[in-house]
Amino acid sequence: MKIVSAKVIVCSPGRNFVTLKLETDAGVYGLGDATLNGREKAVVAYLEEHCLPALIGRDARNIEDIWHYFYRGAYWRRGPVTMTAISAIDMALWDIKGKALGTPLYNLLGGKSRERVMVYAHATGKELGDAVDAVGKARDEGFVAIRVQSSVPGVASSYGVPKGDRAYEPAQKGVAEEQVWETAPYLRYLPKLMDRVRSTYGFDFHLLHDVHHRCTPSQAARLAKAMEPFDLFWLEDPVAGELQEGLRMIRKHSTTPIAIGEVFNSIYDYTTLITEQLIDYVRMPIVHGGGITHLQKVAALAAVYHVQMGFHGATDLSPINFAASLHFDLAVNNFGVQEYMPHVDPAFDVFKVNYKFERGYCTIDDKPGIGVEIDEEKAKKYPYVAASLPVARRTDGTMFHW
């Protein structure tokens, strides 16, 4: 089954998405997500210049070999751009295999380990009261796992809080917006927010929070310890991803579960964290972590150390990635939770999806392969818009982690 054509589709139905479409001489085609927020065109160039010409003529059935061709074959290996390009190729090949065999992706990954996938909602507020209300709203919608974020008094721009009434979307048109952040007021504020949430609604639901890389190791250790009375499901990205040793300090002081790695792209980012049991959940998504082929290896390593999977699922990952994640979540034994941020309506004008949300869980139907379709004519109605993620500075002007 030879690959006869490969093309990249870029569209912006509400936000930018990059999609790879591979066609075979058997008439079966596959789709893969190649979206890297704010760096979309870098992945397009990597695919078009360096990968797609080498894909034509290859046997689409040989997923493992093709993965290694693009991973080992790239002398300059790893990194988010390279690994996102490999992910898109890999997803499209798994989609083709499922379609060719007439079976959904989860069957190729070992079959169902569960019937539905627990997802977590985003509850955000411009102030403490709003954030607490947003948690109540998510509970009313049936969510059993809820991430809470709020603006921090005295901090000009907090991570995760939407502008106006629109859904949260960090990437903004043009060059990066410069935001102002300070960690000290946040550290004082977060226990108050969590206390209000737990004293209002009790403990019979999972509560999560994303630090978004804003702490030093000792600040993160203090925060994780302060979170213990609130029984968090996880504290996400307490320190910047590249400082893996920072996780040792957190573990030494607290048993609050830790999730990390939405910015990771390789199993080698996780080896110390998993083998030393410094984390509880893997966040690296299929779209940025080398696809299903590579994530299977990460999930298997994690399982050995009783670490669970908790895929990144923000709206800057396309519905194709979300559907692929649900297949994976259904299949692996060591599944923890899946992030769920519904895409805006225009995205569903372009992408026809096969999953649905119901009372705290997502399910996916049994269409062969990944099961998401793209309407290429509709995609043309939404041309690419250059956009960037923000950057952050401290109040004295020092560049900081966003």
Interface size with ligand GCO, residues (CB under 6 A): 10
- Which runs of E-coded beta strand occur in 98-174? 117-125, 145-150, 172-173
CA dist., res. 343 & res. 357, Å (int): 12
Number of separate helices (H) and strands (E) present in the chain: 14, 20
Catalytic residue among 106, 120, 159, 361: 159
Taking CB within 5 to 8 Å according to partner kind, which of Mg ion, ligand GCO, none is near residue 37?
A: ligand GCO
- What is the C-alpha to C-alpha distance for residues 70 and 60, in angstroms, rounded to an integer? 14
Half-sphere exposure for 147 (CA within 13 Å, toward CB): 25
37 scored as a contact of ligand GCO (CB under 6 A): yes
Q: Within positions 51 to 110, which residues make up the interface with ligand GCO, using CB under 6 A?
A: none
CA distance linking residue 299 with residue 291, whole number of Å = 12
Does 120 qualify as catalytic in the annotation?
no
**Cα 22–Cα 25–Cα 30 angle in degrees, nearest 5:** 25
Check if 294 is active-site. no
What residue number has its CB nearest to Mg ion? 210
Main-chain phi, psi angles of 30, to 5 degrees? -135, 155
Residue 170 or 291: the one with the smaller Cβ distance to ligand GCO is: 170
Footprint of Mg ion on 239-268 (CB under 5 A): 262
Q: Decide if residue 339 touches Mg ion (CB under 5 A).
A: no
Indicate the residue type of 20: L
Which of the listed partners (Mg ion, ligand GCO, none) does 289 bind, with a CB threshold of 5 to 8 Å by partner kind?
none
Residue span 199-218 as binding mask against ligand GCO, x where in contact by CB under 6 A, dash where not? -----------x-x------
Burial of 289 (0-12, 13-18, 19+ CB in 10 A): buried
Count of residues interacting with Mg ion (CB under 5 A): 2
DSSP state of 254: -
354 binds ligand GCO, rule: CB under 6 A: no
In this complex, which beta carbon is closest to Mg ion, that of residue 210 or of residue 280?
210
Which of 33, 90, 210, 329 lies at the binding interface for Mg ion (CB under 5 A)?
210
Q: Tell me if residue 62 falls in helix, strand or coil.
A: coil
- Return the one option of ligand GCO, Mg ion, none that residue 170 interacts with (CB less than 5 to 8 A, by type): ligand GCO
Cβ proximity of 191 and 217 under 8 Å: no
CB of 25 to Mg ion, least distance (A): 41
Considering only residues 287-316, where is the footprint of ligand GCO by CB under 6 A?
312, 314, 316
Determine if 33 is a binding residue for Mg ion (CB under 5 A): no
Strand partners, 21: 7, 31
Q: Taking the complex as a whole, how short is the minimal distance between the CB of residue 280 and ligand GCO, in angstroms? A: 15
Report phi then psi at 7, rounded to 5.
Answer: -140, 155
Instruction: Tell me which residues touch ligand GCO (CB under 6 A).
Output: 37, 170, 210, 212, 262, 312, 314, 316, 339, 389
Active centre residues (catalytic): 159, 212
Instruction: Tell me which residues touch Mg ion (CB under 5 A).
Output: 210, 262
